[in-house]
Structure 1
């Protein structure tokens, strides 16, 4: 339930005079004394939302105020309220790359399976953070459905790890059962994105891991295989990696009836 759908009603004349902007600023700045006094007077303020649907807890997360987050949770703040973009406090903390905040929220029971309006889970967001520890923390409590959850663009967390050029994240997700055969709305696999990143090590991690029917000849919406993409970009080291795969089809045609070797000329 998006908190914009619920109106904030105060229970007393005194509380009605409270400037909620002060509350949000206190949360973001870690002013626990102000917050405690105001919320004790009117506990409904815990779930009041600003124009973007953000509660005091979300403001505390945005300000990276871990003690304030703990205080608000202790006072009964709803962990899983969503803002106007569908993001929970855990989503916001993950997008910030705030490890300590994520740990605190997860320990208090934050749900990981609530997608935002882009269809993304915290796992998707964690792939943008260079420090793989954040992803590891989320994966400790993730199931396979969440790991392979596709956002509105059809991208899984594995797609995003490849997109962000994160070899370590990719390796971790694969060990947890991420499905390499899933394609996004452009019919791209994670391997397509890995090749596009230009990172040979990233491509090798994917190629070394996959044991099923070869994904190497999957073509995207433009008919381009991974070899087409590597050849067009001139990634000679990646071309060599792809060519090692026995099933690699150098004769495959893209939508313009071009073979990969045309790009190599």
Structure 2
């Protein structure tokens, strides 16, 4: 015979609660048909766990219940690896009766009369244990799966939310979903996106998780275009790229605030409007300028038309940039993009040569573009401002740069009939390709001029 009693289970599960007395009951059954059995119960960590009946007697074919107590309540579960355990030792007791001192002496003497019937693992389980493990790095997978086995569905759902907030490994999210956490109970998708785990996003979507109006905001803040692409593919029209948060900001506002250019470009490509203003009147350009994100400012200037938009306090994007970056190294670049670029365009249009030189001296881009793709050279050529054309060319203006419609400065000069400007551009290498097809009588007259005066392609 290798054992005298049988344990009801191989482990003792203790539902742990913070700062509370915790206990668990387990049962042992005497397998002997005619003889009582003496039982001794010890724990591997007596300072943490105690048993109400360390010595007892079980009559033949009877059962007895025992209670394991966590001795000291605490904020954290006293987990150990390997886990603590209860050792069950037994001895046959022909008399069926014995005082406690006799039992103590009986089990203090080793020998063939003693049996080691079982070692019962002590498992700390429940939501408090699982929550503690979620906060740890790294987590013990065995402890965690055991802990959540004693959790209800609402508890599992709450733990799933906590795991996503903590950025827990994908395996933790998968374990909770497999155990019964309800991904559809509330929109957990923004938490998964914020945590930066595309795998968690996919796990939630596969489990029926829905989305809300802030999911794209979280993706924008985290610079996760991969999550945006996945959500757009899975949720389709349900995903609104112009959805606003409680302050009227869209995902493009958030991306601009953080300087995430790829997110801005993706949102715009999906139909997001970069011109929208939030409740305080700030456009994405305001946010990019305030944050000093030069590349985001450049991106928004190309895809939006709100450089002059004012907030509720009358401030443009340039105003907030000047306010925030008065002594910053990015100030000159922002000034170029948001102020001197416009000033250069205006000076070129009215042939303010001094203004053109001042803007260029302040750092304005000679080949900067407006919302239609026109450079300062386009404007000066179209208006026939030959002095400004000369200054711009001397400062490196690209003579064959094209606007959004494919027109070069030479096209603009020809369309407006400014022959001398056209000749100046050609003398600087402007291409005459496709000029014949330009839809304007002046352009045809211009072409005829070269047919009659082939040597007039230079200026005296």
Same fold by TM (over 0.5)? yes
Count of residue correspondences: 215
- The answer as to 2:220 corresponding to 1:132 is no
CA distance in 2, matches of 1:175, 1:68: 35
Any residues of structure 2 matched to 1:1-265 within 5 Å, and which? 19-27=126-134, 30-41=139-150, 44=152, 46-48=153-155, 55-61=158-164, 62-82=166-186, 88-113=187-212, 121-140=214-233, 141=235, 143=237, 146-210=240-304, 214-230=305-321, 233=325, 234=331, 235-239=334-338, 240-241=340-341, 244-245=369-370
Greater relative contact order (Cα < 8 A, sep 6+): 1
More displaced, 190-199 or 173-182? 190-199
Higher Cα Rg, which structure: 2
TM-score, scaled to structure 2: 0.41
Kindly state the Cα deviation for residue 55 of structure 1 after the two structures are TM-superposed: 1.4
After superposition, give the CA deviation of every residue in 1:195-227 in whole Å (9 maximum; x if it has no partner).
2233333223223224xxx43322101101224
State the Cα RMSD in Å. 3.2
Where does structure 2 lack aligned partners over 5 or more consecutive residues?
Answer: 1-13, 17-21, 23-124, 326-330, 346-368, 373-460
CA distance in 1, matches of 2:341, 2:294: 8
C-alpha spacing 1:217/1:20, structure 2 compared with 1 (3 Å): same
Kindly state the Cα deviation for residue 159 of structure 1 after the two structures are TM-superposed: 0.3
CA distance in 1, matches of 2:148, 2:140: 12
CA distance in 2, matches of 1:149, 1:126: 13
Where does structure 1 lack aligned partners over 5 or more consecutive residues?
Answer: 1-13, 83-87, 116-120, 248-265
Q: Which has the higher helix share?
A: 1
Q: Which has the higher strand share?
A: 2
TM-score, scaled to structure 1: 0.67
After superposition, give the CA deviation of every residue in 1:56-104 in whole Å (9 maximum; x if it has no partner).
212333252212211221232111445xxxxx43222222223332232
C-alpha spacing 1:108/1:237, structure 2 compared with 1 (3 Å): farther
CA distance in 2, matches of 1:65, 1:19: 20
More displaced, 238-247 or 68-77? 238-247
Equivalent pair of 1:99/1:134 in contact (CA under 8 Å): yes
